[in-house]
Amino acid sequence: MNKRIRSSFMAGAFAAAILSAGPLAAALPKGAEAPPVVTTGALAGKAFPFDLAKALKKGPVVLYFFPKAFTQGCTLEARAFAEAMPQFKAAGAQVVGLSGDDIETLKRFSTEECRDAFPVARATPATIRAYDVALNMKEGSGLLSDRTSYVIAQDGRITMVHSDSDWREHVSRTLAAVRALKS
C-alpha cells in the first residue's frame, strides 16, 4: 500500500473510531479551577505565545480540545466556531481551540479551517493530562485529546463542560454558557 493511500486509510479509520466513540467523560467538573495553559498558539497563520491567565483578564474563555487538525469532525467543528465568532465576541468571550498537533500544522489550520476568526494552540501532553482529555490510543501513536469544550469564567473557574465526540453541539452549548455568564 503506498504512503498516500495508507495515510488516507489511517485518517479514515481514526475518524471512524472517534465518531463511534459517543459521549466522553471529562474529569474536570463544573466549578473546578482551570489548570494553567501556557503554550504557542496560531492565528491567521502566525504563531504567538498563549497564556490562559492573561486571556482571562479580558473575559471568559472557551477552551475546546479537538483530536487532530484537518480530520473531518475537527474541520467541521472549527468552521462552526468560526461562523459563530461574532456571537462569542458580542458575549465578551474568546475561543481557543487546543490540540496536540505541531505548530506548523496549527498555523495552516488557523487560516484554512478556522478562517482567521479565532486562534488554535498546541496542547502539550501535560495540558492534555491536566484537563483529563487524553484519548486512549495504542502505545506509540502519540497523545491525542478527545473532543471536550470548557467554558472558563474570568475568575478561572470552569462553568461548563461538554464532552462528546460528535462536534455538532459544542458551539451551541458553549455559546449558551457564555451568554449565561453575561446575564
Residue range of the domain that includes 149: 3-182
Cα angle value 85/90/91 (rounded, 5°): 100
Instruction: Give the domain CATH number at 133.
Output: 3.40.30.10
Segment 27-38, tens digit of pLDDT? 799 999 999 999
For the chain, what is the domain count? 1
Segment 157-182, tens digit of pLDDT? 999 999 999 999 999 999 999 999 98
Pairwise CA distance, residues 155 & 160, whole Å: 14
Q: Which three cell numbers stand for residue 21?
A: 466513540
